[in-house]
């Protein structure tokens, strides 16, 4: 706050306090000629009379004490422009102190899980319960309370992982996030193979999950050469994808954005851009390990976890 604004606020506060003192003093004193407390002549319904009795002196004094208290409060805690107050208090400092206290409690509760491997944490039912709670508060908004995802948000309960499903990969995803980009290939493919090129590639992509998909399929056969010219760099010659790039396997029956012809055409034409936010700053490494252990446990049966 600039000095000018600070003095402006101080002046407004001082005028308000002075105005309250004057108003209290002016309205509490009696003047010559004022009617008696019981002589106002304001009577309704024969027996309802308005009196002019002043407030008791102790009540008025309480108002004065309130004003004195307000001045002392602002002098100690601040409130007079840029003046920080004699006590040095600020809401930011109080928040920082409370946060430090609560963080200390959390760190003590999570200390036994610090640095432990994900698959080891997953053997502890108590740890999985904590991880589930963290997931519900942090991750369920995108992946759903059951972790089964939605269109554009992956299902975390199956064994399909675009970025890898090992414990370390899952932890890296939680901590640092992921960004998957499928470029727009509509114009490129049209320039290479004509107006039906995108349909050809979509047909070929659909055929990858069917060993006999190319037999007697003219559109898929036409799309094969176009696929090899554009898509092979990310999805591979066999369509198995690349976990280092987040490029999905096109030979299974899992489709993040839908696997019907229209959805595949839309994906090829317009591209896709999926972002998994980084949670390192929000959760810290230990809590990220707990939620990663919970996520990993969703696709591993209890007997598999115990055998690790």
Strand ranges in the chain using DSSP code E only, listed in sequence order: 42-44, 48-50, 178-182, 272-276
Residues 297 and 257 in one domain: yes
Average pLDDT over residues 26-37: 77
Examine the domain organization and report whether 180 and 302 are in the same domain.
yes
Q: From residue 161, how far is each of 149, 157, 247 by CA, in Å?
A: 13, 10, 10
Residue 240 lies in a domain: yes
150 and 270 fall within a common domain:
yes
Mean pLDDT of 229-257: 94
- 129-159 pLDDT, tens per residue? 999 999 999 999 999 999 999 999 999 999 9
Residue 103 lies in a domain: no
CATH number for the domain that contains residue 236: 1.10.760.10
Considering the domain boundaries, does residue 97 fall inside one?
Answer: no
Confidence of residue 305 (pLDDT cuts 50, 70, 90): low
Domain assignment of residue 98, yes or no: no
Which range, of 47-61, 65-79, 173-187, 241-255, averages the lowest pLDDT? Answer: 47-61
Query: Which of 30-44, 131-145, 214-228 has the least mean pLDDT?
Result: 30-44
Query: Are residues 133 and 227 both part of a single domain?
Result: yes
Question: What is the spatial distance between Cα 299 and Cα 147, in angstroms, rounded to a whole number?
Answer: 11
pTM: 0.70
The number of distinct structural domains making up the chain is 2
Q: Which long-range contacts (CB under 8 A, 24 or more apart) does 274-277 make?
A: 274/152, 274/178, 274/179, 274/180, 274/181, 274/246, 275/177, 275/178, 275/179, 275/180, 276/173, 276/177, 276/178, 276/179, 277/177
Q: Assign 215 a pLDDT band (cuts: 50, 70, 90).
A: confident
Q: Which of 66-75, 195-204, 210-219, 246-255 has the lowest mean pLDDT?
A: 210-219
Same domain, 66 and 184: no
Query: What is the reported pLDDT for 308?
Result: 47
User: Of 46, 68, 89, which residue sits at a domain end?
Assistant: 89
Which tokens in the block code for residue 116?
Answer: 């432990």
- For residue 108, being part of any structural domain is answered with no
Same domain, residue pair 166 and 275 = yes
Does residue 203 share a domain with residue 155?
A: yes
Residue 282's domain comprises: 118-307
Which residues contact residue 8 at a Cβ distance below 8 angstroms, ignoring those fewer than 6 apart? Answer: 81
């Amino acid at each position: 706050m600039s000095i000018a604004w600070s003095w402006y606020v101080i002046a407004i506060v001082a005028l308000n306090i002075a105005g309250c003192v004057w108003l209290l003093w002016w309205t509490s004193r009696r003047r010559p000629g004022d009617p008696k407390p019981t002589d106002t002549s304001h009577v309704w319904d024969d027996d309802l009379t308005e009196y002019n009795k002043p407030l008791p002196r102790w009540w008025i004094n309480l108002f004065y004490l309130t004003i004195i208290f307000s001045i002392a409060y602002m002098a100690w805690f601040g409130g007079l422009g840029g003046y920080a107050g004699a006590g040095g208090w600020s809401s930011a400092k109080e928040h920082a102190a409370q946060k430090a206290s609560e963080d200390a409690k959390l760190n003590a509760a999570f200390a036994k899980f610090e640095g432990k491997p994900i698959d080891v944490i997953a053997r502890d039912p108590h740890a999985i319960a904590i991880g589930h709670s963290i997931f519900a508060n942090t991750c369920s908004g995108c992946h759903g309370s059951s972790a089964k995802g939605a269109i554009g948000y992956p299902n975390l309960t199956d064994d399909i992982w675009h970025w890898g499903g090992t414990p370390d990969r899952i932890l890296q995803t939680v901590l640092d996030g992921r960004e998957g980009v499928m470029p727009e290939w509509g114009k490129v493919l049209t320039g290479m193979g004509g107006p039906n090129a995108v349909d050809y590639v979509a047909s070929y992509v659909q055929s990858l999950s069917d060993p006999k998909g190319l037999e007697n399929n003219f559109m898929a056969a036409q799309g094969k050469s176009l696929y090899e010219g554009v898509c092979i760099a990310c999805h591979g010659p066999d369509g198995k994808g690349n976990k280092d790039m987040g490029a999905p396997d096109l030979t299974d029956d899992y489709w993040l954005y839908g696997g019907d012809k229209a959805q595949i055409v839309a994906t090829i034409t317009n591209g896709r851009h999926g972002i998994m936010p980084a949670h390192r700053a929000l959760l810290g490494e230990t809590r990220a390990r707990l939620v990663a252990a919970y996520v990993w446990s969703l696709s591993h049966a209890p007997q598999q976890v115990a055998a690790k």
